[in-house]
Amino acid sequence: MSILRKRVSLAGGIAAAILSAMAGCAKDSSVDTSGIEKEYLEAWIGANHPGVSASGRGVYIIGDEPGSGAELTSGDSYLFIEYTSTDLEGNVSSTTSKKLSQQVGSYNPTNYYGDYIIINDETYTQLGIMDLLDGMRIGGKRVGVVPGWLNVTLNEYESKATGSNTIYSITLKDKTSDITAWEIDTLSRYAAIHMPGIDSTMFGYYCKTQKEPTSPDTFSADTTFYINYTGRILGGQVFDTTVEDTAKVYGFYSPTKTYSPIKVTPSSDGDYTKTTIGATSSSEGSTVVDGFAFCLSKLRPFEKVTCAFYSGLGYGYSGSGSAIPKFTPIVFDIEVVEEPSDE
């Protein structure tokens, strides 16, 4: 995981992220809506869940615990869920549960575990998932079998694409019609607790000085400097660091990675979004996400800060890998340090 800039379009990024994270990895990866695979699924249902009939466009609901909260509506654009997906033999292919991941041996300390955000629109979310969620209330849990031909988005369904027969266990945790407002509210509540007395100086951005600088002046455009940093999500899970001991504490130390202060090169034209890090003799370095770059542009000699910002200044609609989910505010502890002696 890194802080390097990542830009993915709304439609393509979300669709790809949802499909890769939630699509099951069953053995019957090619499913026909009218062939032997459909007959096999019907026979499996009959043997394992007799009396259960298909609903919606063809999903089989095999468990339903109604919630006591508000019912979903078409205006609820973003849904917060917990889920586990398995193949028909019960092999877990994906889960948001840390405990279950540990039990099945797939736990990774850099992966995110917790509420997962999906879009309440079949253009971005599989048709079968939409059918399973239909009529649910907040707090409800539903288990259902999604046929492979419904384990795809609308465009894929219309092009006759297929996925895998998958059992989903989904708990509906929350919903919102405005994800940006939800993020800003979440971030402001975080700042009130962890950064008291600090106001947002830019929309969706907070910064608190943890150690005073040795000079009141920021770095000029022609001055490189070095930092150590640690990045985490608001829940505290660390996803990246330049500090070896921190990597070891959080369980993702890699002996092949060099843990050392990293060089920062401000943009020569004063555009903070062009700030680069990690420059070497053969490279001009890499740009970083806007919130991190803005924080770097405000640093002063030997200052230590904590900056927090919403996903619009970070990884936005796509998230980053398995560590940073979509629509996730992130936090960085950054300290300006001496240039490493071996540089």
If 0-12 CB within 10 Å is exposed, 13-18 middle and 19+ buried, where does residue 58 land?
middle
Sign of the torsion angle spanned by Cα atoms 87, 92, 97, 103: positive
Q: Is residue 332 part of a domain?
A: yes
Backbone angles phi, psi at 193, to 5 degrees: -90, -45
Average pLDDT of the chain?
Answer: 88
Spacing of C-alpha 320 from chain mean position: 6
Rounded average pLDDT over 263-270: 90
Domain range for residue 92?
Answer: 10-176
Residue 6 has pLDDT above 80, yes or no: no
CATH of residue 239's domain is 3.10.50.40
Answer yes or no: do 165 and 25 share one domain. yes
Outline where the chain has alpha helix (H): 10-22, 36-48, 98-104, 127-133, 154-158, 179-194, 244-249, 290-298
Residue 5 has pLDDT above 90, yes or no: no
Amino acid letter, residue 112? Y
Answer yes or no: do 226 and 270 share one domain. yes
pLDDT of residue 13: 34
pLDDT of residue 155: 95
Sign of the torsion angle spanned by Cα atoms 120, 126, 128, 129: negative
Residue 7 has pLDDT above 60, yes or no: no
pLDDT of residue 284: 66
Answer yes or no: do 172 and 32 share one domain. yes
Band of residue 37 on the pLDDT scale cut at 50, 70, 90: confident
CB of 169 within 8 A of CB of 61?
Answer: no
61's enclosing H/E stretch is: strand 59-65
pLDDT of residue 31: 47
Answer yes or no: do 79 and 117 share one domain. yes
Rounded average pLDDT over 178-195: 97
Residue 44 has pLDDT above 80, yes or no: yes
Whole-prediction pTM value? 0.83
Percent of the chain at pLDDT > 90 equals 78
Final residue belonging to a domain, choices 176, 200, 234 = 176
DSSP of 196-247, one letter per residue? TTPPPSBTTEEEEEEE--SSSSPPPTT--EEEEEEEEETTS-EEEES-HHHH
Final residue belonging to a domain, choices 130, 153, 176 = 176
Answer yes or no: do 199 and 124 share one domain. no
How many CB atoms are closer than 10 A to CB 184? 17
Answer yes or no: do 84 and 204 share one domain. no
- Which one, of 57, 42, 45, 31, lies nearest residue 129 by Cα? 57
Residue 48 has pLDDT above 50, yes or no: yes
Band of residue 279 on the pLDDT scale cut at 50, 70, 90: low
Per-residue pLDDT tens over the stretch 75-101: 999 999 999 999 999 999 999 999 999
Higher pLDDT pick, 284 / 207: 207
Band of residue 150 on the pLDDT scale cut at 50, 70, 90: very high
Answer yes or no: do 142 and 206 share one domain. no
Answer yes or no: do 16 and 157 share one domain. yes
Final residue belonging to a domain, choices 176, 195, 219 = 176
Residue 226 has pLDDT above 90, yes or no: yes
Residue 17 has pLDDT above 60, yes or no: no
How far is residue 179's CA from residue 200's CA, in Å, rounded to a whole number? 18
| Three-state DSSP state, 162 | coil
Answer yes or no: do 138 and 201 share one domain. no
Q: What is the DSSP letter of 257?
A: S
Answer yes or no: do 197 and 282 share one domain. yes
Residue 49: CB partners within 8 Å, gap ≥ 6?
A: 60, 62, 145
